[in-house]
Amino acid sequence: MKTIDRYILRSFFVAFVSTITALLALYLAIHGFTHVSYVEVARETFAREGYSLASGFATYYAVHIPEILVFVGPHALLMASMFTVHSLNQSNELVPLFAAGVSRARILLPVFLGAAVVTIGLVVVKEVTVPRLADDMTRLARAMRGRTDDVVNDLGLIRDGRGNIIQPGVWDVSQQCLENVYIWTPRLTKPAHFDRLDWVSDSGGGTWRAQPTDAVAQFDPSRDTDLVPYDLAPEQRAVTRLSFEALRRLHERSPAKRHLAVILHEHLTYPLTPFVLLFFGLPLVMRSRKKNVFQGLGLCLVLSLGFFSMTQILHRLGSRSEIISPALAAWLPVIVFGAIGLVIFDSND
């Protein structure tokens, strides 16, 4: 590795650490101010959990930091890369390289290598750390909102992927069991009733186990429903915290659930997202030495917002309608932004 490569790489990592720290601080500040109304109820529930108010909130944000990193990481990479290139451009440090015939692609190679290292780290956090902390995130989020019990009573009617309508009376999160369950299915004239259904995990994901009753002869919960505990989670983000392997097993059990397919493909597109943004954004910064740093920051925000907005819209369409397939909903933003970015990057050299 040449001296200039080490210099650019060092500048990139300094910029990335500064950027990710600033984004984390901004995220935590905004989240804290928007949740200040929970302070009083959180004081009581945190006390029952053995925390003071300060330590409770500190623990809450500590376990959520990996998830926040996964969310802001690609955008922080874009900002750090653009700041690095902008700084080199503004100080005319690239002029000797251009004069020596070094291509822009070769100059940017250390930036892409640094981005690859950071992206690998983010993928590990997404696939390993976040799933391990998922239960703690859910528990502390409920405690912050004044709920420490592990029993959910207000689930309402739930439709599984096979068209059955399920009405659980009580969902005991800690025991992984449903109580007083009514299940309506098209082939039955009246609902099947179960006093208790226990979730039993296995290598294939898990099944529901009921006590031998007449209802089992009408409806066998171990094979006639694809309902899983994540369908019962009141926190809608529970499924997004699963690892790719756990999601794959879940999707195999419930192929009709489109949102699982979208999230599964999102795990595949996530490692590509930083590079799509870099191919799009870096050439725009390198074209001019006169741009103000705030113009570069604004460009980063516009680019990130555009990509994020398109991703969210298509993910919702892929999850909730037949307009677009789940796979295309997850891959289309990467394809569109990636194709445009490659054209811009190639024409910039």
pLDDT at 137: 86
**Which phi and psi angles does 195 have, rounded to 5°?**
-70, -35
pLDDT at 220: 85
- Quote the CA–CA distance of 74 and 80 in Å, as a whole number: 10
- Indicate the SS3 state at residue 329: helix
- Indicate the SS3 state at residue 169: coil
**What is the residue-wise DSSP string for 204-268?**
TS-EEEE-S-HHHHH--TTTS----GGGG-SSTTTGGGS-HHHHHHHHHH-TT-HHHHHHHHHHH
Q: Mean pLDDT per 10-residue run, the chain (349 residues)?
A: 86 94 92 83 80 86 94 92 85 79 84 95 95 85 72 76 84 82 85 88 79 74 83 67 85 79 94 90 70 67 86 90 89 91 76
pLDDT at 50: 80
Which helix (H) or strand (E) is 30 found in, with range? helix 3-34
pLDDT at 346: 77
pLDDT at 14: 94
pLDDT at 91: 79
Across-strand partners of 194? 181
pLDDT at 349: 57
Residue recorded with tokens 């024409």? 347
- Amino acid letter at 38? Y
Q: Using an 8 Å Cβ cutoff, are 166 and 228 in contact?
A: no
Helices (H) and strands (E) in the chain, counts: 12, 7
pLDDT at 145: 77
The tens digit of pLDDT for each residue in 38-50 reads 888 888 888 877 8
pLDDT at 204: 67
pLDDT at 233: 64
